[in-house]
Structure 1
Amino acid sequence: MSRVEVLSPRSPVSFDFDIDVITSCSPRSPSGLSASFPREKRLTNAILAELLYTSSHVVHATEDDSEEVIVVPGLPPVYRGHREFHLRQGVMKAAQLTAECEPDAEKAFFVADLSYVYKQHLRWKKNLPEIEPFYAVKCNPDPYVLRLLAALGAGFDCASNGEINLVLPLVDPSRVIFANPCKATSFIRQSARAGVDMMTFDNTDELHKIARVHPGAKLIIRILTDDSKSLCRLGLKFGAPMVTVPALLGKARELNLDVIGVSFHVGSGSYDSNAFSDAVMRARMVFDMGKDAGYTFTLLDVGGGFEDPTFEASASVLKDAIEQYFPARDNLRIIAEPGRYYVAQAFSLAANVIARRAPPTAEDVDPDSENPSVMYYINDGVYGAFNCILFDHQSPQPYILSLDGSFHVPSTVPLRPSSVWGPTCDSIDCVCSVTQLPSTLQVGDWLAFDNMGAYTICAASQFNGFQVSKVTYTAGGEFGREVREALRTFAS
């Protein structure tokens, strides 16, 4: 098994996040359900059976790894056990709180498996050993994700003072890049005070601001690349066209600023691995332009755009391009800005069916119709975690977490075209316009959504008075033991 070095924290950390501590529900504890809640009693009975079944799949403590829970001051605990186990436990807890008439008892919740983040880091080191990952904080500024990646030696790509303040308690400023080409002057000044020197630019005005308030900055010119094969085309907003680069470098030299390298971004969610090759070629041209302007560049930032399904293909193209255009790399530092690659699949969301609109009788439903005959309403939507539909062009699809008080959904259950909607009083709050769901799905059942870790929590709002869904953490996957050890070592 591959091993990674765990680094020490830069200074003691206490995050002041207002996050409820989510406690476990023991199958041996009284359920507190009265006879007036038959559905909840059925659900609890089903959960007890599931817990007994699942116990054989849960990672238990050993003599040399005895801590069941990782606790960091100011943060929720990190549990053991597989993600599905905690999704089901969350449903069990909701049933108990419902029986106790707790307000918002059935609220939606995330389960984050930190071992997935660890696995992705090992995968990165195996495929791109020369390239230092600087995690894009904007993708998901989760405190445990930041702590774990800091412990594993990653740097951080920040776009604001707020993001810089999140990571500086964890790492040295040299492991931070202020990768926003268009910054407020006050942000640049604060960056200087914090010791964060690496920052990007793509225009003349930015150079004048930096010269005034942070003349010692280590600048990286961000160039425009072909991002037409990406979900989010960042080139619409950022990146200096190649024809403008000589003049920008000339102005930087005139202002006595230190430009140390080149950055690019092929777009967020790139689905064309060859885009990296073209971008590296352009970067090589800018390195040569830098020499003409009197600079010797020592840094290449290959940006983000790494997708989980195509990562190996992109890594191969990127390595080949670097070898072709930068064959001599003794004095070259190469970094990247992966975001969704690390966290997309680490988070799952469980949501409760809070309402339903359907024809009066089953006979009124046309089973052969391709149009949704039933509308389901869940307690998270596009103003919350599903903002990724609007802002990140995602199409999350649900699966059944619990149905009629049971976690077991027979394959023989008939499906019908349905639509899924969020809880707000806004008609754009649509999670799935058409999806196949069991015909027996009712209010009180639970849906789950995987791949909910990227550009979800970070942009969620409390529109219409709905709270942002909270997170239960586990380190129960393949590398759970390594995650717990990394977090313990980092905390100490």
Structure 2
Amino acid sequence: MAAASLLINPSDFPSSLECYTTGSAYLPTPPSTSPPPPQVREKIIELKTIELPSFVTGSAQALMQSRIAELAMTGDDEGAFFVGDLGEVWRAWKSWVTELSRVELFYAVKCNPDPLVLQLLALLGTGFDCASQSEMTAVLSLPSPPSPDKIIFANPCKPASFVRAARSLGVDAMTFDNTDELLKIAKLHPRAKLVLRILTDDSKSLCRLGLKFGAPIETCPSLLATAQSLNLDVVGVSFHVGSGCKDPQMFDDAVGRAKTVFEMGRDKGYSFNFLDIGGGFEAEYFLPMAKTLREALDRHFPVEMGVRIIGEPGRFMVSSAFTLATNIIARRATAQAVLGAAGVVVGGLGTPESEKEEEKAMDFMSASIVSLNGSGEGSMHLGDAGSGEEQTPKVMYYINDGVYGSFNCIMFDHQIVHPFPLTLNGGASLQPFPRSFPPNVQMEEDLTVQMGYGASCEPASVWGPTCDSIDCVRNVVMLPRELEVGDWLGWGEMGAYTVCAASTFNGFNKSQVHYTTGTDPVASAAISRVLGDAI
């Protein structure tokens, strides 16, 4: 794609400076011979085409094990890494277009702005839900970008510079939920196609976005009247039932509210033809949600109404597509356990006195873990599984990614992540993936026990690499005793709200991504064909 230009209109800025007085003191007036103030130059931002990474074919497990073996042979940095299975993205797309054929897919970029995921979806014809200038430019900088009318600027409260950028990039569709936003848009992007974001019931969702966005129904008539007085083009309604919705009926209720606002728009002289049903979709609940939505849309917005309908799935598209591999960089356990397992005999170890001191140290370590957040609430705050609350960890494992990196999802997205061994005995034994990855929620039985490691497991805690004590990935989880420093732990369902919010706090790098097309021969061939010209 030829480089595009982002132009900022000089008319958006004052053409001259004004002089103000305070009492009798006047600011000095320039002499009449002074040159006029310089004209404000147009600000040009070049959109440089993104270079896409390469990918291979085969299973995520095979790619992950190959990478681990390569690192072991070369002695290179044991950095944590993701495997991105593009076949999973493809399957999610196929499921969406099959179950919700009336609803155009507009992927929520904020969930995971991975460039290869964005390019694959763009080539499949999807649109994009962008919330910032950076997200819009990322999408439009792809080797095969979508047209600007396949982007909705779905942030109801936008910086003025972002509105200018949207205008210059040709992105006209954008949301609003307040009067100030209307005044801003009327000044900076009067040609915008506006979508009124309404408040819905999101009480059954993981992240309640209604706490921040959405106009209550009773305020909609006045907002529409204001838009009309400003000669703004309001084309429809949007809503969001909250990220990670657990109750399909929330969509039924929201669609009914949207129909009410459509009627309000008609009363104000508008002819709405656009409905944005937002996100909130999870794989675990997708089929019943899709069924509820189909019925609600057919009831309130039958096909003959001619309403264009879009949806903004995020985690549904990418959560299962990314698996994380982390290396155990350190371990804290009793000296007797560590040295005994290594076959090392040290004088004084194994005596009643030494064992008593070791037990005291481990008891103190355990007490520290369960009180991280004060009053014994640390485990709930940091994603402890209910099955381990009555247990105390016998060993502490330190890995090379944590809550300041990919596991920020624990803090910000309320995830409870589930480790499984990729290697045992210091890397000597490669271990298989589980048959399927559970969602990142509390489970009665840890994943390792479900995989058959139960007899060899002991309660452990898992910590990130930084020097902050809040960097705890799991307080208590059952892990095999054979784990040693240098072994690898895997983590499934890590594609949503992970790498996108990772930082380099304390000087630790973000985890890199390696890609495969997966094992499904149909999907793999299709992905290779679709992406082939773009790489």
Q: TM-score range by the shorter chain?
A: 0.7 to 0.9
Distance 2:530 2:110 in 1: 23
Aligned partner of residue 289 in structure 1, secondary structure: helix
**Residues 16-415 of structure 1 aligned to structure 2 (within 5 Å):** 74-98=51-75, 102=76, 105-169=77-141, 170-362=145-337, 370-404=391-425, 405-408=428-431, 411=453, 414-415=456-457
Deviations 1:21-45 (A, max 9, x none): xxxxxxxxxxxxxxxxxxxxxxxxx
Deviations 1:282-325 (A, max 9, x none): 00000000001110000000000000111010000011111111
Aligned partner of residue 245 in structure 1, secondary structure: helix
Aligned pair 1:487/2:508, yes or no?
no
Amino acid at match of 2:53: P
Give the Å deviation of 1:329.
3.8
Q: Which residue of 2 aligns with 1:35?
A: none
Q: Which residue of 1 aligns with 2:377?
A: none
Give the Å deviation of 1:186.
1.0
Aligned partner of residue 187 in structure 1, secondary structure: helix
Aligned partner of residue 278 in structure 2, secondary structure: coil
User: Is the Cα–Cα contact under 8 Å of residues 453 and 480 in structure 2 kept in the other structure?
Assistant: no
TM-score w.r.t. structure 1 length? 0.82
User: Is the Cα–Cα contact under 8 Å of residues 109 and 351 in structure 1 kept in the other structure?
Assistant: yes
User: Is the Cα–Cα contact under 8 Å of residues 107 and 469 in structure 1 kept in the other structure?
Assistant: yes
- The 10-residue stretch of structure 1 (134-143 or 327-336) with the greater mean CA deviation from structure 2: 327-336
Deviations 1:74-95 (A, max 9, x none): 3321011110001101111221
Q: Which residue of 1 aligns with 2:382?
A: none
Give the Å deviation of 1:144.
0.4
User: Is the Cα–Cα contact under 8 Å of residues 413 and 439 in structure 1 kept in the other structure?
Assistant: no
Give the Å deviation of 1:97.
2.8
Amino acid at match of 2:467: C
Q: Which residue of 2 aligns with 1:450?
A: 492
Q: Which residue of 2 aligns with 1:476?
A: 518
Q: Which residue of 2 aligns with 1:68?
A: none
User: Is the Cα–Cα contact under 8 Å of residues 353 and 446 in structure 1 kept in the other structure?
Assistant: yes
Distance 2:493 2:236 in 1: 34
Aligned partner of residue 215 in structure 1, secondary structure: coil
Distance 1:119 1:190 in 2: 34
User: Is the Cα–Cα contact under 8 Å of residues 348 and 451 in structure 1 kept in the other structure?
Assistant: yes
Aligned partner of residue 335 in structure 2, secondary structure: coil
Aligned partner of residue 272 in structure 1, secondary structure: coil
User: Is the Cα–Cα contact under 8 Å of residues 116 and 477 in structure 1 kept in the other structure?
Assistant: no
Deviations 1:389-432 (A, max 9, x none): 00111111100000011114884751011110000000110111
Distance 1:182 1:424 in 2: 34
Amino acid at match of 1:304: G
Distance 2:91 2:3 in 1: 25
Q: Which residue of 1 aligns with 2:373?
A: none
Unaligned 5+ residue runs, structure 2? Answer: 5-48, 338-354, 364-387, 433-451
Amino acid at match of 1:108: A
User: Is the Cα–Cα contact under 8 Å of residues 224 and 235 in structure 1 kept in the other structure?
Assistant: yes
Please say which structure displays the higher CA radius of gyration: 2
Give the Å deviation of 1:440.
1.9
Distance 1:133 1:328 in 2: 17
Distance 1:88 1:321 in 2: 46
User: Is the Cα–Cα contact under 8 Å of residues 129 and 312 in structure 2 kept in the other structure?
Assistant: yes
Distance 1:311 1:476 in 2: 22
Deviations 1:362-394 (A, max 9, x none): 47589x971111110000000000000001111
Give the Å deviation of 1:489.
4.7
Q: Which residue of 2 aligns with 1:69?
A: none
Distance 1:376 1:349 in 2: 16
Aligned partner of residue 316 in structure 1, secondary structure: helix
Distance 1:338 1:304 in 2: 5
The one of the two structures with greater contact order (alpha-carbon pairs below 8 A, sep at least 6) is 1
User: Is the Cα–Cα contact under 8 Å of residues 113 and 477 in structure 1 kept in the other structure?
Assistant: no
Distance 2:304 2:494 in 1: 37
Distance 2:274 2:519 in 1: 36
User: Is the Cα–Cα contact under 8 Å of residues 53 and 116 in structure 2 kept in the other structure?
Assistant: no
Amino acid at match of 2:64: L
- The percent of aligned pairs where both chains have the same amino acid is 54
Call closer, same or farther: CA 1:145–1:263 in 2, change over 3 Å. same
Give the Å deviation of 1:73.
7.9
Aligned partner of residue 259 in structure 2, secondary structure: helix
Deviations 1:81-123 (A, max 9, x none): 110001101111221232xxx4xx1110000010110111111
Aligned partner of residue 314 in structure 1, secondary structure: helix
Aligned partner of residue 194 in structure 2, secondary structure: strand
Give the Å deviation of 1:488.
1.7
Give the Å deviation of 1:330.
4.2
Could you tell me which of 435, 438, 444 is aligned with 2:480? 438
Show structure 1 runs of 4+ deviating over 6 A: none
Aligned partner of residue 328 in structure 2, secondary structure: strand
Give the Å deviation of 1:477.
2.6
- The 10-residue stretch of structure 1 (406-415 or 194-203) with the greater mean CA deviation from structure 2: 406-415
- The 10-residue stretch of structure 1 (162-171 or 403-412) with the greater mean CA deviation from structure 2: 403-412
Distance 1:329 1:449 in 2: 46
Number of aligned pairs? 418
Call closer, same or farther: CA 1:415–1:435 in 2, change over 3 Å. same
User: Is the Cα–Cα contact under 8 Å of residues 151 and 490 in structure 1 kept in the other structure?
Assistant: no
Q: Which residue of 2 aligns with 1:56?
A: none
